[in-house]
A and B are shown apart, each in its own frame.
Chain A
């Protein structure tokens, strides 16, 4: 079982739709959870960062963490064609070793105008 599982997609939605992206993980020691967006042939760009369980909202993006289920989500409201990219979940431990991020494989999203 991989440490972080993420459905690679591809996921195709019409413009304006609500997008739900998810990751599951096996290591209950993960404490910090991040979502990165990666455009083709570009570096990952940090979108959202959350600590432990709960929700965090930033504009059209909402990140959710459910530690009891080892499940994290990213919701994108009113999706735009510019949101078309690969979305990577990442997580890390707390304290010593927290510098090392463990990534999912990424979900490729296409938002159709």
Chain B
């Protein structure tokens, strides 16, 4: 049973370019989350999506960042006009249900490391 799949694993972008990070959840999971891990910082929640819906984007920067989870295909985290401060590890996670509780936990992918030069 494949886990949460993220690609690319490593991405280098010049300042001002766009970064697109993709995430396929675990089989049977319809809830997707994106977290960001800045150097020397803990993981920070960014956004929670279900198929075709953004449920909570309270952790997303107001500008340049967007996320989607279309009916078909992977979830996409898009960062426009990247700046050096966007350099971080971006983790996607998935769960079978939206509320953490008995029998429902959140599983993380291997991450996408973005470096902005």
**Chain A residues in contact with chain B, CB under 8 A?**
4, 6, 32, 34, 36, 41-46, 49, 51, 88, 90, 92, 94-96, 98-106
Contact = CB atoms under 8 A, between A and B. Distances in A.
Contacts of B59: 100
B26 interface: no
Given A99-B56, A101-B45, A103-B42, A43 B102 contact: no
Given A100-B45, A104-B42, A43 B56 contact: no
Interface residues of B, number: 30
A43 B108 contact: yes
A105 B100 contact: no
Contacts of A104: 42
A25 to B, nearest CB: 12
Contact of A44 (B6, B43, B45, B95): B43
B105 A106 contact: no
Contacts of B31: 99
A99 B95 contact: yes
Contact of B108 (A44, A51, A92, A94): A44
25 contacts: A32-B101, A34-B105, A41-B113, A43-B6, A43-B110, A43-B111, A44-B43, A45-B108, A88-B42, A90-B43, A94-B101, A96-B99, A98-B100, A98-B101, A99-B56, A99-B100, A100-B56, A101-B35, A101-B43, A101-B45, A101-B106, A103-B42, A105-B40, A105-B41, A105-B42
Contacts of A36: 108
Contacts of A102: 45
A67 to B, nearest CB: 16
B69 interface: no
Nearest to B55: A99
Given A34-B105, A42-B110, A44-B108, A99 B42 contact: no
B97 to A, nearest CB: 9
Nearest to A104: B42
A45 B109 CA distance: 9
A43 B91 contact: yes
B4 A92 contact: no
B33 A99 contact: yes
